[in-house]
Amino acid sequence: MAAIGLHRGKYQVRIRRVGSPSISRTFSRKKDAEAWAVVTEQKMEKGDYEPDKALRFTTLGELLECYSKEVTPTKRSQEIEVMRIEKMKRSWISEIRLLNLRPHHIAKYRDERLLTIQGNAVARDLSLISHAIDTAIKEWNYPLKRNPVSAVRKPTSNRSRNRRLESEEEQPLLDAVNHSQNIWVAPLVELAIETAMRRGELLNIEWSDVNLDKRTIHLENTKNGSPRTVPLSGRALEILNTLPRDISGRVFPVSAVALRGLWRRACKRANIENLHFHDLRHEATSRFFEKGLNVMEVAAITGHKDLRMLQRYTHLRAEDLAKKLG
């Protein structure tokens, strides 16, 4: 049965039915409130009523589940985000009702995560939770007055990594990926070292983006939103020429999640510690500078808009500089 009341100059409708959560909505005009109540009750009688998204979840975990189905698929990093959400859903914080979620819960979750992962990763987790809650409030009409994440101090960022592939590590790494049962991981790793392309960029390349005659790969969707064309070295061209063509049209038909596992196993097999796949971009960029390319030339290849960002990539090896000094 629908009940309509006047609250602060607006008409609030509330419909209660046995076995279902109550439904409410606010209108400026009484006749709009009455019309919505009639239509909604008729739909409920016929079994045709689909509740708002906000009524599909009560806990943070249920919100994250809804978010992963509605919002995450629109992102380029959807595979990684789904994996992060699944991990969050196994945490105690996912069981807390949204209406009871407070800043101290978020702070406790932050501090526990900081014991096992770096600050940048924790900050990404908090950002994901915050965006999910903002989406629930702004788009799904969830009755929260404030996002509790906004009141919590964000973890300090870690120092930018300057990890490079050491000379004694490169061959064991290449041997490890070449012994993988997955035929794509070895050429993917080598191309990363040759081009300084990001993991997501490599995984999204299609053969239609590759021009072997002009020795280029065109990247339409990049992290900074600006398309760029990557020139190919002789070795990069050789790698691409040896690859089989997959029916999907993708140069590397591998998921981001699969690549993460393949990379972890390859590093373990090569007995290499603390080497991330993204470090290959750092290695490649540093090699461009060592070959004598200037900042503008390197930026054209890597896609850096802020040239100051390239300063952290120019960790030239002292022994190489010594040779130049004579």
Q: Is residue 156 part of a domain?
A: no
Query: Are the C-beta atoms of 20 and 37 separated by less than 8 Å?
Result: no
Looking at the fold, whether 145 and 18 belong to one and the same domain comes out as no
* Active-site residue flag, 67: no
Amino acid 77 reads: S
Query: To the nearest whole percent, how much of the chain has pLDDT over 90?
Result: 42
Query: Are the C-beta atoms of 187 and 239 separated by less than 8 Å?
Result: yes
Q: Is residue 161 part of a domain?
A: no
**Domain end position, chosen among 151, 181, 213:** 151
CATH number of the domain bearing residue 113: 1.10.150.130
Provide the domain count of the chain: 3
Q: Is residue 31 part of a domain?
A: yes
Query: Of 102, 146, 278, 317, which is the active-site residue?
Result: 278
**pLDDT for the residue 185:** 94
Looking at the fold, whether 144 and 110 belong to one and the same domain comes out as yes
**Domain end position, chosen among 120, 151, 182:** 151
* Active-site residue flag, 49: no
**pLDDT for the residue 56:** 59
Tokens of 108: 């406790």
Please give the full DSSP string across 53-112, using - where no structure is assigned.
Answer: GGGG-SBHHHHHHHHHHHTGGGSTTHHHHHHHHHHHHTSGGGGSBGGG--HHHHHHHHHH
Q: What is the DSSP letter of 126?
A: H
Residue 55 has pLDDT above 60, yes or no: no
Summarize pLDDT for 89-129 with one digit per residue, the tens: 999 999 998 888 999 999 999 999 988 888 888 999 999 99
Q: What is the DSSP letter of 206?
A: B
pLDDT band at 268 (very low <50, low <70, confident <90, very high): very high
Instruction: Among 37-46, 102-111, 198-207, 266-275, name the one with the lowest average pLDDT.
Output: 37-46
* Active-site residue flag, 131: no
**pLDDT for the residue 320:** 62
Residue 73 has pLDDT above 90, yes or no: no
Residue 40 has pLDDT above 70, yes or no: yes
* Active-site residue flag, 124: no
- Residue 126 Cα distances to 80, 131, 133, angstroms: 15, 9, 11
Tokens of 75: 């992102």
Query: Are the C-beta atoms of 105 and 96 separated by less than 8 Å?
Result: yes
Instruction: Strands of the chain (E only): list them.
Output: 2-7, 10-15, 23-27, 210-211, 216-219, 228-231
Looking at the fold, whether 171 and 319 belong to one and the same domain comes out as yes
Range of the domain at 37: 2-51
Most confidently predicted of 22-31, 116-125, 173-182: 173-182
Looking at the fold, whether 173 and 320 belong to one and the same domain comes out as yes
* Active-site residue flag, 43: no
Query: Of 223, 235, 264, 291, which is the active-site residue?
Result: 223
Looking at the fold, whether 61 and 78 belong to one and the same domain comes out as yes
Instruction: Strands of 132-233 (E only): list them.
Output: 210-211, 216-219, 228-231
Query: Are the C-beta atoms of 191 and 199 separated by less than 8 Å?
Result: no
Query: Of 53, 199, 281, 287, which is the active-site residue?
Result: 281
Looking at the fold, whether 80 and 66 belong to one and the same domain comes out as yes
In terms of C-beta distances under 8 Å and separation of at least 24 residues, what long-range contacts does 146-152 make, across chains too?
148/101, 148/102, 148/103, 148/105, 148/106, 149/103, 149/106, 151/103, 151/106, 152/103, 152/106, 152/107, 152/110, 152/126
Amino acid 263 reads: W
Q: Is 0.75 topped by the overall pTM? A: no
CATH number of the domain bearing residue 295: 1.10.443.10
Rounded to an integer, the average pLDDT of 275-285 is 91
Tokens of 198: 């990001």
Q: Is residue 24 part of a domain?
A: yes
Instruction: Among 19-23, 44-48, 85-89, 274-278, name the one with the lowest average pLDDT.
Output: 19-23
Query: Of 198, 199, 282, 287, which is the active-site residue?
Result: 198
* Active-site residue flag, 29: no
Query: Are the C-beta atoms of 112 and 87 separated by less than 8 Å?
Result: no
Looking at the fold, whether 36 and 63 belong to one and the same domain comes out as no
Q: Is residue 278 part of a domain?
A: yes
Looking at the fold, whether 321 and 188 belong to one and the same domain comes out as yes
Rounded to an integer, the average pLDDT of 14-27 is 68
Q: Is residue 229 part of a domain?
A: yes
Q: Is residue 159 part of a domain?
A: no
Looking at the fold, whether 192 and 319 belong to one and the same domain comes out as yes
Looking at the fold, whether 205 and 183 belong to one and the same domain comes out as yes
**Domain end position, chosen among 35, 51, 67:** 51
**DSSP-derived 3-state class of residue 250:** strand
Looking at the fold, whether 320 and 184 belong to one and the same domain comes out as yes
Query: Are the C-beta atoms of 106 and 152 separated by less than 8 Å?
Result: yes
Please state, in angstroms and rounded to a whole number, the distance separating the CA atoms of residues 101 and 196: 42
Residue 22, φ and ψ in degrees, nearest 5? -70, 150
Looking at the fold, whether 99 and 192 belong to one and the same domain comes out as no
Rounded to an integer, the average pLDDT of 214-227 is 85
Q: Is residue 29 part of a domain?
A: yes
Query: Are the C-beta atoms of 57 and 95 separated by less than 8 Å?
Result: no
| Average pLDDT, rounded, for the chain | 85
Residue 190 has pLDDT above 80, yes or no: yes
